[in-house]
Amino acid sequence: MSWKKDLKIKRLRYRSIIPRVLGICFVDAIVIAFVLFFCYLIFLGQINNYLFSSHKDSLDVVQAINTNWNTNTVALNMEIEQVKKRNSNIQDVYIVDDNLNIINSFGSEPISFETVFMDEDVEEDLADHGMVRGELDVDEIALSFFNLKDKIKNVINFVDIVTDKRVIDSLSEEIMFPTQWVLYKTDINNINVCIKNCYPISSYTYNVILVICVCFAAAILVTAVYELRKIGQYILEQKKINKLVSTDTVTGGNNKEYFLQKGARLIRAPRKVAIVQLRLEKYHNFCSAYGVKVGENLLEEIHEKLSSLVGKKELAAHLENADFVLLLYYKTTELLNERLNSIITELTSVRKTQHLLFSAGVCEVKSRNDDINDLLTSVGLAVSKVSESTENIVWFNESMKEEQVWERRIEDDMETAIMNHEFQVYLQPKYSTKGEKLAAAEALVRWIHPKLGFVNPGKFIPIFEQNGFIIQLDDYMLTAVAKLQAKWLSEGKKLVPVSVNVSRAHFTCDDLAEHICRIIDKYKVPHEYIELELTESAFFDDKEVLLKTVRQLKSYGFKVSMDDFGAGYSSLNSLKELPLDIIKLDAEFFRSVDDLTRSNLIVGDTISLAKKLGMQIVAEGIETREQVDFLAKQHCDLIQGFYFSKPLPVSEFEQRAYGV
Per-residue DSSP letters for 294-356? Answer: HHHHHHHHHHHHHHHHS-TT-EEEEEETTEEEEEEE-S-HHHHHHHHHHHHHHHHTSSTTS--
Task: State the DSSP code for 494.
Answer: P
pTM score above 0.85: no
- Does 247 fall in a domain? no
Q: Is 134 left (phi over 0), alpha (psi -120 to 50) or beta?
A: left
- Does 5 fall in a domain? no
Among the residue ranges 16-20, 181-185, 456-460, the one predicted with the least confidence is: 16-20
In a shared domain, residues 346 and 444: no
pLDDT of residue 15: 59
CA dist 80 and 275 (Å) reads 102
Mean pLDDT (whole number) for 618-624: 91
- Does 228 fall in a domain? no
Q: How many CA atoms lie within 13 A of 628 on its CB side?
A: 17
- Does 250 fall in a domain? no
Q: How many CA atoms lie within 13 A of 470 on its CB side?
A: 20
Quote the domain boundaries for residue 492.
422-658
* Torsion sign across C-alpha atoms 135, 139, 143, 148: negative
Structurally, the chain folds into a number of domains equal to 3
Strand, helix or coil for residue 33: helix
In a shared domain, residues 428 and 387: no
Q: What is the pLDDT of residues 563-608, one digit of tens each?
A: 878 765 556 777 777 888 999 988 877 775 556 777 788 888 888 8
pLDDT of residue 71: 76
- Per DSSP bridges, beta strands 179-185 and 192-198 are antiparallel
Q: What is the pLDDT of residues 296-345, one digit of tens each?
A: 899 999 999 999 999 888 999 998 889 999 999 999 999 999 999 999 99
- Strand 102-106: give its sheet, edge to edge: 102-106, 90-96, 192-198, 179-185, 140-143
pLDDT of residue 593: 56
- Per DSSP bridges, beta strands 438-449 and 498-501 are parallel
The residue count for the chain:
660
CA dist 134 and 97 (Å) reads 8
Mean pLDDT (whole number) for 163-172: 37
- Domain edge (last residue) among 334, 363, 398: 398
pLDDT of residue 60: 80
> What residue type is assigned to position 61 of the chain?
V
CB of 563 closer than 8 Å to CB of 585: no
What CATH number has the domain bearing residue 621? 3.20.20.450
CA dist 253 and 509 (Å) reads 46
- Does 362 fall in a domain? yes
- Does 11 fall in a domain? no
In a shared domain, residues 260 and 201: no
Q: How many CA atoms lie within 13 A of 147 on its CB side?
A: 6
pLDDT of residue 111: 44
